[in-house]
């Protein structure tokens, strides 16, 4: 065994040490295998996100579906930059700044014409977080931006129950530029 000096030395090892060496060696090989399969950084470091809608949003969504029936196409979590865009006459840094203000914001619900998918109304479900200062500032900006783009917005306070009829009436009022209560009847 002149070609394999390590193997030649193996018979001199204490038999009590051979088993732990084999176990440790096997563990190291298993750890190496697991690292190669699972531990290497993936070029796609993604995982599934949480559900698109919170429990309160899901409750409202089901009533909103009843309220709009087939009159509108209903979408959730639409990016504001997909609803409005920066005017063509705004250029350079001002254009970039304006786009950056809308690119990461989204609307809770969007109603579209089912034939051409033109946005007809944005609906925001206002829970307790909308009372916080930063959220009020965000809401004021979104309201002003949508108003400038002539896209109606309806704010509906989050509740435990809703009236589909009251929601439907509030949607039509918002689209006419009016405000009415969305309280359950």
- Token pair of 57 as six digits: 């949003």
How many CA atoms are closer than 13 Å to the CA of 144, on its beta-carbon side?
A: 8
Within 10 A of 38 (CB to CB), how many other CB atoms are there? 8
| Residue 75 clears pLDDT 60, i.e. is over it | yes
Inter-residue contact 168 to 180 (CB < 8 Å): no
| pLDDT for 149 beyond 50 | yes
Lookup result for tokens 């699972």:
38
- Given a contact cutoff of 8 angstroms between Cβ atoms, the answer to whether 156 and 170 are in contact is yes
Residues in the chain: 185
Q: For residue 38, give the 3-state DSSP assignment.
A: helix
Judged against a pLDDT cut of 60, whether residue 185 lies above it is answered with no
Q: What is the DSSP string of 57-126?
A: HHHHHHHHHHHHTTTSEEEEEEEGGGT----TT--HHHHHHHHHHHHT-EEEEEEE-TTT--EEEEEEEE
The whole-model pTM stands at: 0.74
Phi, psi (rounded to 5 degrees) for 67: -65, -40
pLDDT for residue 44: 83
55-175, CATH topology level: Endonuclease; Chain A (3.40.960)
Asked which of 35-39, 45-49, 126-130, 165-169 is least confident by mean pLDDT, the reply is 35-39
- In tens, the pLDDT along 9-33 reads 656 666 666 677 777 878 788 877 7
pLDDT at res. 14: 64
Chain segment 119-137, per-residue pLDDT in tens? 999 999 998 877 788 889 9
Nearest to 55 by CA among 135, 138, 170, 158: 158
Which tokens go with 119?
């946005």
Residue-range domain boundaries for the chain: 5-39, 55-175
- Mean pLDDT, the chain, rounded, equals 87
């Amino acid at each position: 065994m002149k070609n394999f000096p390590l193997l030649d030395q193996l018979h001199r090892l204490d038999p009590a040490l051979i088993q732990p060496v084999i176990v440790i060696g096997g563990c190291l090989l298993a750890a190496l295998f697991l690292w190669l399969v699972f531990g290497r950084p993936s070029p796609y470091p993604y995982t599934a996100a949480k559900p698109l809608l919170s429990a309160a949003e899901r409750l409202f969504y089901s009533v909103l579906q009843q309220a709009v029936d087939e009159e509108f196409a209903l979408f959730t979590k639409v990016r504001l930059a997909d609803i409005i865009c920066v005017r063509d006459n705004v250029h350079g840094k001002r254009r970039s700044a304006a786009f950056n203000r809308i690119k990461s914001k989204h609307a809770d619900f969007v109603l579209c014409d089912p034939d051409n998918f033109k946005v007809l109304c944005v609906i925001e479900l206002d829970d307790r977080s909308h009372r916080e200062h930063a959220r009020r500032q965000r809401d004021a900006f979104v309201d002003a931006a949508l108003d400038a783009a002539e896209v109606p917005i309806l704010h509906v306070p989050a509740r435990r129950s809703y009236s589909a009829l009251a929601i439907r009436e509030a949607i039509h009022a918002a689209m006419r530029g009016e405000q009415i209560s969305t309280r359950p009847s």
